[in-house]
Chain A
Amino acid sequence: MTTDATSFPQDARAALNNARLQGALTHLKEGFQVKRAAAFAAYPIPFESLREQGRAIKQSALAQLDELLVQFEAQASANGGKVHWARDAAEARDVVTRILKESSAKTVTKGKSMVTEEIELNPHLIANGLTPIETDLGEYIIQLRNERPSHIVAPAFHLRRSDVEESFREKHETLPPSRSLDNRPALVAEARGVLRRYFEAADAGITGANFLVAETGTAIIVTNEGNGDLTRLLPRTHIVVTGIEKVVPRLEDASVLLRLLTRSATGQEITSYVSFMSGPKRTGDADGPENFHVVLVDNGRSALVASPVHEVLQCIRCGACMNHCPVYGVIGGHAYGATYPGPLGAALDPGLDGLAKTYHLPFASSFCGRCEAVCPVKIPLTKIMRYWRGESFARGIPRSPFNTGLKLWAWAARRPNFYRRMASAAARVMRILAGKSGRIRSLPVLNGWFVARDLAKPAAESFQSQWRRRQ
């Protein structure tokens, strides 16, 4: 879905009043935070040293990104695969569609992939007469509902069991109304039955990649449902669509990042499946695709490599930042109006989609810093949000009377004596407005404050004035 976060304030308000969403968000803590903390505690060496290792691996990989990508292409080609380069979303969509048409594909199964969300692949495939089927359970559910993922690891996090049942009953024509779907195993069995038919019918499978390994030409995915393997192994053609920043030099590097990723995301020591995909089926292989393609998507990333926010490309998409974000925790993912929600999105979306669509997101943070405290590769998320705030202010996106007010305030604050006189005058006015009560209910300025709260009335005399008088 196209990124448009310009209605963030309204969407956030709606999210606060969405009872279903609020119910789902209460599970963030035990579902993610507690499990992650337990996985950290159980790790045999201080987790901090692993984080530091992960950061160093990603940082050095990004510093030699061009060479690693060329090495990856050479290795993947030597393995019998084909590597494609896509400068932007349109090129990526076209490459994928061309490959699918060349292999006469109709039904296309898909593993979970945020990059294919980012490039809005599914609507494009449908417009070209293809049938994409999401096979990750959460992704499948939101595909039925025509929604975007509300979380990068748990795409249907915002839904209740009953919502899923409702969607299945509406869309699954072979589902008898008499069959009970009042528990999770029943829902999973229903989805599995439907998906099994698609797995058998699929002509091609598309997955993302959590990591690319340059030395071996391998793409790696982690899944818990086994859908990734059925997507990549059963059809004739497998296409990996992934961002260029996923490449690391060696298998050993990927193994460090895997340890960080699964613990940070779901608190697992390892996911149920970790799939290493290095090329098409070889003679003697029991299974595998005949054609293996990797589409390397830039879509704004190479411009970020050389920018002051390059660290955002270290991200391994674990979701820990959103799981621990107090803002995400009360509004969920959809209100962000972008592919990547939460602190990661606030740091990344302006780089991918431009500030004009995303200017709210870097401001939609209290700068509490918990995101960067849990980030497994130590991305300085608040520093990056601050950079985007600076761009927003400097470029006047959006034009805001607030910024003019701020300049005036700063002009005064640089003149301490004048500032103190102005502040005391403002305090006197506020005290008059407060009257006999201890608080102010509203003011003609800073309306946002008074929407939600009162303001304690200022003191009759400032500290500095009292101090000077007493000295």
Chain B
Amino acid sequence: MIERPRVGLLVTCLADLFRPQVGFAAVKLLEQAGCDVEVPAQSCCGQPAYNAGDAKDATALARNVIATFAPFDYVVVPSGSCGGMVKVHYPKLLADDPVWGPRADALAAKTHELFSFLVNVRGMKSVQATCRADAAYHDSCSSLREMTVGPEPRLLLKSVDGLNLHDLAEKETCCGFGGFFSVKYPEVSARMADDKIADAKRTGADTLLAGDLGCLLHLAGRISRKNVPLRVRHAAEVLAGMSDTPAIGEDSK
């Protein structure tokens, strides 16, 4: 283990614009895990273009990110989806490029989803945080299948003082976000969200947590539209002891 690794935080567009607190929570947790955190100037990982079928623009954005984050020991992403883009898809996008292919592979090898990095790379087993809530944790599909994250956030959440963690009955089922899928087929996407929200409510949870702001903004938006009594947060906020702030979509300032 590197004594004090230099970690580049890929904060993600959604956290940057909608929920800066997720970025600060990630920084706090990474510092607790003994890392020096830097935030290089960044834009988007290119996933929207890639999923829309525009591999050319996605590749251009991938090169930007690779160049920006190459100097760090690790790249950490508070999102399975943007993390999966870097770790799983950049190497495929650039596989035939003799210069950028190896650089994409090198970046992929040192890129981690936040909770997985804290637990598996930095050996974190617990956090010092309090949150009085009944919470259900939703695995984003890219966290679960592309980044193979599952036990890590649960391990850390169980150490939060006052938090009762509940398991969703359908924890392998998608919440219906899927990027542009949510905009192209909104009714289908919303039904999937409704099923996820109902699953969370059935556990007795008052709070729904996840590690991906895409899922969270989608679920919070649906919860707001349907007036469901359920608060939504990124799990990093709870782990960093920042859960006394308004939940997603509840900030009226």
A423 touches B249 (CB 8 A): no
**Is residue A43 contacting chain B, with contact meaning CB distance below 8 A?**
no
Residue of B nearest to A411 (CB): B57
Encoded as 1 (CB less than 8 Å from any A CB) or 0, chain B from 94 to 105 comes to 000000000000
Interface-lining segment among B109-117, B150-158, B199-207, B214-222: B214-222
B23 touches A463 (CB 8 A): yes
How far is A427 from B1 in the complex, measured between Cα atoms in Å?
40
- Give the size category of B's interface with A: 35 or more
**Is residue A456 contacting chain B, with contact meaning CB distance below 8 A?**
yes
B224 touches A454 (CB 8 A): yes
How far apart are B165's CB and chain A's nearest CB, in angstroms? 23
A453 touches B190 (CB 8 A): yes
**Is residue A457 contacting chain B, with contact meaning CB distance below 8 A?**
yes
**Is residue A464 contacting chain B, with contact meaning CB distance below 8 A?**
yes
Residues in A neighbouring B60, C-beta threshold 8 A: 410, 414
How far is A369 from B53 in the complex, measured between Cα atoms in Å?
17
How far apart are B187's CB and chain A's nearest CB, in angstroms? 5
**Is residue B2 contacting chain A, with contact meaning CB distance below 8 A?**
no
Residues in A neighbouring B46, C-beta threshold 8 A: 410, 413
**Is residue A49 contacting chain B, with contact meaning CB distance below 8 A?**
no
B145 touches A416 (CB 8 A): no
How far is A449 from B225 in the complex, measured between Cα atoms in Å?
11
A452 touches B17 (CB 8 A): no
How far apart are B242's CB and chain A's nearest CB, in angstroms? 13
A390 touches B41 (CB 8 A): no
A416 touches B43 (CB 8 A): yes
The B-contacting residues of A in range 453-471, CB under 8 angstroms, are 453-464, 466-467
Residues in A neighbouring B225, C-beta threshold 8 A: 452-454
**Is residue A386 contacting chain B, with contact meaning CB distance below 8 A?**
yes
How far is A13 from B55 in the complex, measured between Cα atoms in Å?
30
The B-contacting residues of A in range 324-363, CB under 8 angstroms, are 326-327, 329-331, 363
A407 touches B224 (CB 8 A): no
Determine which of A12, A419, A436 lies in contact with B252 in the assembled complex, contact meaning CB atoms within 8 Å: A436
**Is residue B174 contacting chain A, with contact meaning CB distance below 8 A?**
yes
A326 touches B186 (CB 8 A): no
B53 touches A394 (CB 8 A): yes
Interface centre among A326, A424, A448 (most CB of B within 10 A): A326
Residue of A nearest to B45 (CB): A413
A439 touches B249 (CB 8 A): yes
B53 touches A407 (CB 8 A): no
**Is residue A364 contacting chain B, with contact meaning CB distance below 8 A?**
yes
| Interchain pairs with CB closer than 8 A, number | 211
How far is A335 from B142 in the complex, measured between Cα atoms in Å?
26
Residues in B neighbouring A45, C-beta threshold 8 A: none
The A-contacting residues of B in range 214-248, CB under 8 angstroms, are 217-218, 220-222, 224-225, 246, 248
Residues in B neighbouring A449, C-beta threshold 8 A: 182-183, 186, 221
How far is A453 from B216 in the complex, measured between Cα atoms in Å?
12
Interface-lining segment among B8-16, B118-126, B128-136: B8-16
How far apart are B189's CB and chain A's nearest CB, in angstroms? 7
Residue of A nearest to B215 (CB): A366
**Is residue A368 contacting chain B, with contact meaning CB distance below 8 A?**
yes
Interface centre among B61, B185, B253 (most CB of A within 10 A): B185
B182 touches A456 (CB 8 A): no
Residues in A neighbouring B251, C-beta threshold 8 A: 438, 456-457
Encoded as 1 (CB less than 8 Å from any B CB) or 0, chain A from 224 to 258 comes to 00000000000000000000000000000000000
A12 touches B188 (CB 8 A): yes
How far apart are B200's CB and chain A's nearest CB, in angstroms? 16
Interface centre among A368, A393, A460, A462 (most CB of B within 10 A): A368
Residues in A neighbouring B13, C-beta threshold 8 A: 423
Residue of B nearest to A405 (CB): B52
Determine which of A370, A389, A436 lies in contact with B53 in the assembled complex, contact meaning CB atoms within 8 Å: A389
How far is A290 from B48 in the complex, measured between Cα atoms in Å?
59
**Is residue A19 contacting chain B, with contact meaning CB distance below 8 A?**
no
Residues in B neighbouring A467, C-beta threshold 8 A: 23, 39
Residue of A nearest to B226 (CB): A453
**Is residue A97 contacting chain B, with contact meaning CB distance below 8 A?**
no
**Is residue A373 contacting chain B, with contact meaning CB distance below 8 A?**
yes
Known: A456-B248, A462-B20. A448 touches B51 (CB 8 A): no
How far is A424 from B153 in the complex, measured between Cα atoms in Å?
31
Query: Assuming A420-B43, A438-B250, A453-B225, what are 10 further A-B pairs, CB within 8 angstroms?
Result: A12-B185, A364-B188, A366-B176, A366-B189, A388-B53, A416-B43, A424-B17, A452-B186, A456-B19, A456-B248
| Chain A residues at the B interface, C-beta cutoff of 8 Å | 9, 12-13, 16, 326-327, 329-331, 363-370, 373, 386, 388-394, 402-403, 406-407, 409-411, 413-417, 419-420, 423-424, 427, 436-439, 446-449, 451-464, 466-467
Closest CB pairs A-B (n = 5): A366-B178, A453-B221, A393-B53, A389-B53, A410-B57
